[in-house]
Amino acid sequence: MSKIISIHSFRGGTGKSNISANVASQLAQRGNRVGVIDTDIQSPGIHVLFGMDDEQIDKSLNDYLWGRCKIEETVYNVSARVGKGEVIVMGADIFLIPSSIRAGEIARVLREGYDVSLLNEGFRALVSRLNLDYLVIDTHPGLNEETLLSIAISDVLFLILRPDQQDFQGTAVTVDVARKLEVPNLFLIINKALSSYDFDELKQRVEEIYDSPVAAILPLSEDVARMQSSDIFSLRYPDHPVSEAIRRVVDYVEAVGK
């Protein structure tokens, strides 16, 4: 059975796009057919992690939402792009559905709105027409219609938070929303944890606060920051502690529904 995985956070800059791209790539490396969709229409970005720029993106999610094309026409096979020239053997294909980074397109979708049911149908159509094992949804921070929809239809929801008071408060809101929308598998991921913290204690505290399991804690890493989202970190540096934590997240994904 195919699964929809949403990656969300209440606040911005928590690492959603980096974690989405890494989890998707690790799933593909393990032999799963994976789609990654950028529903962050107002501030898209995940295409960068797969080495794509404006010139390489012809049709995007925006075209589909405007009824200008079928959802299949917005799909890019990015399997050969990950790893930036170093040969990384992927077990199966990975597909990206980018949002447009053209100013006119972003302005239009924000000004005129769009048909949310088309987005809902698009998710389902991608899973069945691309024959996906997993569809990973990268979201806009906070709660808008796109993120609420992606939460409502997800089989697995990962909520990312940093060890920061503002993140702690906001995450409580999203956990509550996820419960109301009856998400069957909700996990927290703590990102950018200082290495001086006691990770076991942090995990226990956070699990108590939200009454939800913590799938992994990723350390704050200068190595990740230095990569500037230009590649898939966990494929480049598989032995790094951040990559180990990503693989733990992927273990949780693969365990769901087994």
Partner 1 sequence: MGILKRLQQEIDEREKHEGVTLAELLDLSPPLRRLMNRVTRYGELTVAQAAEMLEETPENTAKMLNKLVDNGFLLREQRAEGWVYQVHLARKRGTSLPADLWTPLAEQIESPEAEASDSEGAPPALDTFRHIGEIQREKPQDP
Ligand X SMILES: Nc1ncnc2c1ncn2[C@@H]1O[C@H](COP(=O)(O)OP(=O)(O)OP(=O)(O)O)[C@@H](O)[C@H]1O
Q: How far is CA 127 from the centre of its chain?
A: 16
105-144 residues near ligand X, rule: CB under 6 A: 141
Query: Of these partners, partner 1, Mg ion, ligand X, none, which one is at the site of residue 141 (CB under 5 to 8 Å by kind)?
Result: ligand X
Counting residues that bind partner 1 (by CB under 8 A) gives 36
Quote the CA–CA distance of 23 and 248 in Å, as a whole number: 10
Q: Centre a 10 Å sphere on the Cβ of residue 235 and count the other Cβ atoms it contains.
A: 22
- For residue 15, which amino acid is it? G
Going by C-alpha positions, the residue among 167, 190, 186 that lies closest to residue 178 is 186
Pick from 86, 182, 200, 201 the residue near partner 1 by CB under 8 A: 182
In the complex, minimum distance from the CB of residue 242 to ligand X, in angstroms, rounded to a whole number: 6
Quote the CA–CA distance of 51 and 255 in Å, as a whole number: 30
- For residue 22, which amino acid is it? N
User: Which of 99/221 has CB closer to Mg ion?
Assistant: 99
Pick from 168, 197, 199, 237 the residue near partner 1 by CB under 8 A: 237
Answer for the pair 123, 117: CB distance below 8 angstroms, yes or no: no
Pick from 2, 5, 8, 9 the residue near ligand X by CB under 6 A: 9
* Site residues for partner 1 per CB under 8 A: 54, 101-104, 106-107, 110-117, 120-121, 124, 143, 145-146, 148-149, 152-153, 177, 180-182, 221, 223, 226, 228, 230, 237, 240
